[in-house]
Amino acid sequence: MPLHQETRRESLRTLYPQITMKNRKQNPQLPLVKKQDILNSMTLVNRCHYENHEIPSIITKCVTEVERRIRAEGLYKKSGSKLLVEKTLNQLATEEDTNINLDDMAIHVVTGVIKRYLITLPNPVFCFDIYDETIGYIRTKNLFERLPISEIKIPEVKTGTGISSQTLTINEIRGILMKLPQKHLKLSGFLSEHLDKIASLQNKNRMTLHNLAIVFSPCLIYDINEENCISDMNERNYVVEFVLKSYVQLFS
């Protein structure tokens, strides 16, 4: 068995002791869990630990393919076959087919895999722990009126000597994001850079940063209470677009 496969097996045993019969005999109360079920429902942190990667390979493989076909119209907005999206995600998540070829796959299936993986994480990229604080900050500071997304300029054009509203907001939102686990922070920066690349070719793929923020906000930030997700939709869209526009300052 290749070394990396043995390392992953050992990692899986450490993360989920109930997967081995030996541990279940010693601790009969541990429920029997199948390896495939575990791999399909891993948290982001556990997935990175299991793979020994900073970013899950599901994401990096798909992003590489999307950027290879970055001029395709409607990236992330158009939908691929739900059946193929689920099948491909399952193959990548469970390592059922390590030689899966994304080159021949419809690009909207590949983008669908990324979105589906993100939205099914047990804890979203912008974790549940910072949800209330993030939404509350946008409302309390009245950012829709005080700092509309359309007025954010990167790099900022300074008009005075004091700290600007934009800089202050970047610093304060950065303070909230720094409470995220390191792997969540890494993935936030990675995805932001990726989506910025796509938006830079909006004249070809028809996807602006605003469009991408609307598509990705349900995948990146949501609450356990689904009713909040609906009532907070504008705030969720705002914070995702703010992060996409300011990611260099936020994650540097």
Q: Are residues 134 and 115 located together in one domain of the fold? A: no
- Across residues 166-195, what is the average pLDDT? 97
Q: Specify the pLDDT at position 18.
A: 47
Same domain, 104 and 137: no
Q: Do 9 and 106 sit in the same domain of this protein?
A: yes
Instruction: Let me know whether 110 and 141 are in one domain.
Output: no
Q: pLDDT tens digits for 131-173?
A: 999 999 999 999 999 999 999 988 877 766 678 999 999 999 9
Quick one: pLDDT band at residue 6, thresholds 50, 70, 90? low
Average pLDDT, the chain: 88
- Domain end (from 67, 94, 119): 119
Is the pLDDT assigned to residue 239 strictly greater than 60?
yes
Q: How many domains does the chain have?
A: 2
Identify the pLDDT of residue 41. Answer: 82
DSSP 177-228: HTTS-HHHHHHHHHHHHHHHHHHTTHHHH---HHHHHHHHHHHH---SSHHH
Residue 38 binned pLDDT confidence (cut-offs 50, 70, 90): confident
Residue ending a domain, choose from 76, 97, 119: 119
Are 77 and 138 contained in the same domain? no
- 19 pLDDT higher than 50: no
pLDDT above 60 for 250: yes
- Angle formed at CA 10 by CA 54 and CA 96, multiple of 5 degrees: 70
Q: Of 63, 87, 119, which residue sits at a domain end?
A: 119
- One domain, residues 156 and 240: yes
pLDDT over 60 at 16, yes or no: no
139 with 26, same domain: the answer is no
Host domain of residue 237:
128-251
Torsion, CA 122, CA 231, CA 82, CA 215, rounded to 10: -100
**Residue 3's pLDDT band (cuts 50, 70, 90):** very low
- Residue 156 pLDDT: 78
193 and 247 co-located in one domain: yes
CATH number at residue 170: 1.10.555.10
**C-alpha 242: how far from chain center:** 15
Q: Residues 183, 108: one domain?
A: no
pLDDT tens digits for 45-101? 999 998 899 999 999 999 999 999 999 999 999 999 999 999 999 999 887 666 789
Residues 104 and 22 in one domain: yes
Percentage of residues of the chain with pLDDT beyond 70? 83
Contact (Cβ atoms closer than 8 angstroms) between residue 245 and residue 196:
no
- 110 and 178 housed in the same domain: no
Q: What is the C-alpha radius of gyration for the chain, rounded to an integer number of angstroms? A: 20
Q: Is the four-CA dihedral 56, 62, 64, 70 of positive or negative sign?
A: negative
* Statement to judge: residues 114 and 148 lie in one domain: no
241 and 149 Cβ atoms separated by less than 8 Å: yes
Please tell me which residue, 225 or 15, carries the higher pLDDT value. 225
Give CA–CA dist 12/76, Å, rounded: 32
The residue written with tokens 């080159």 in the block is 103
Q: pLDDT tens digit string along 196-215?
A: 999 999 999 999 999 999 99
For residue 31, the SS3 value is coil
